[in-house]
Copies of this chain bind each other. A is one copy, B any other.
Amino acid sequence: MPGLCGRVPLAQKIKLSTIADALGVSTATVSLALRDSSLVADHTRERIKAHARAIGYIYNRRAASLRTSRSGIVGVVVHDIMNPFYAEILRSIESELDRSGQTFILSNHYDQLEKQRGFIDTLLQLGADGAIMSPAIDTPADDIKMAEDNGLPVVLVARMVQDADVPVFRGDDAYGIGLATDHLIGLGHRRIAMIGGTDETSTGRERYRGYVIAMERAGLEVPAAWRLPGPRTKQGGFEIAGSFLALKDKPTAAVCWNDLVAIGLMNGLARAGLTPGRDISVTGYDDLEEAMIAMPALTTVWNGQREVGRLAARALLDRLGGEEVETHQELIRPELHVRQSTAKPVER
């Protein structure tokens, strides 16, 4: 039977003093007891904890953190959690933070600097203990510095910010894309395009660099037209299939920005009547869970996103614990995972 519900009526709040009064001790004792301090006698502590549980006491973190200036909150901001690449990073951050009792607040910045700034501001207002960021395109070092100056330690993941003096954890993109490109060259491909993504991020520049280096090392040409940037999504890969097929000199293989683009591209090629993995070789990047079950299974580069998330969370927790952490980059070394989406070239 449907009813109505509005603002919740706040019953008389139970606080430390409620317990203190009931048990005839001071609030200080209750506070210490609940935090398992050795400053209160065992039986007193147990009595207090039992009573607290019995009457449903709820710890007020706001009040505590106002006093201690530690909030137990960590902010995480990434481009877009709907992107499985970030979702995987987030998941490992989550499990690491959970273990340490920190709560995390999440935001997407969609590469909008203003959105990112708004979020940093929120973190400062809430007195967050720290932040893990995959910074928006063109984030100035000053934005990071401002956060740090206001007491918010920052750790970066996946992307770097020039001149920002904080730890960075990310994959070695140039090397990783090199692996994929070399693999294709090794199979006999000579005309290889690079599909999707943007060259505006540090990641983007690195990936493009890795591709060019590998091509030139093999003495191959790299016409500018073979760099087809685009959204880093399946949709993006799907839609770019047409332009790819229209390229003159007909490349026989595509190094894709990431797995999403690769899967989208493969679907687009299939829609056009081609068989990816036979007619056209395709590589991805990230080795998402779904790379293995794509059709055909995707040759891709494992990018260590789980590792990146874990290390970043650990580094932040270390900083919070007062330890000194090196501010330079830590590069995870990617690995090539060969599957069925790449094969010897076929002239078409």
Chain A residues close to B by CB (< 8 Å): 2-8, 10-11, 56, 58-63, 65-66, 69, 71, 73, 81-82, 84, 87-88, 90-91, 94, 103-108, 121-122, 124-127, 148-153, 165-167, 234-235, 238, 264, 266-268, 270-271, 289-290, 293-295, 319-320, 322-328
Q: Which residues of B contact A66 (CB under 8 A)?
A: 60, 62-63, 66
Q: CB < 8 Å: which of B62, B121, B326 contacts A65?
A: B62
Q: Please name the residue on chain B nearest to A264 by beta carbon.
A: B293
- How many copies of the polypeptide does the oligomer hold? 2
Known interface pairs A5-B165, A8-B152, A293-B268; A125-B60 also in contact (CB < 8 Å): yes
Q: Which residues of B contact A270 (CB under 8 A)?
A: 295
A-B contact pairs, 7 of them (CB 8 A): A3-B328, A4-B325, A5-B148, A58-B125, A82-B84, A104-B106, A271-B295
Asked whether, in the complex, the Cβ of A234 is within 8 Å of the Cβ of B7, the reply is no
Q: Which residues of B contact A124 (CB under 8 A)?
A: 58
Q: Which residues of B contact A103 (CB under 8 A)?
A: 105, 122, 126
Asked whether, in the complex, the Cβ of A267 is within 8 Å of the Cβ of B293, the reply is yes
Give A71 to B61 CA distance when docked, in angstroms. Answer: 11
Q: Which residues of B contact A65 (CB under 8 A)?
A: 62
For the complex formed, measure the closest distance between the CB of A127 and the CB atoms of chain B, giving whole angstroms. 5
Give A124 to B63 CA distance when docked, in angstroms. Answer: 13
- Determine which residue in A60, A166, A322 has the highest number of CB atoms from chain B within 10 A of its CB, and name it: A60
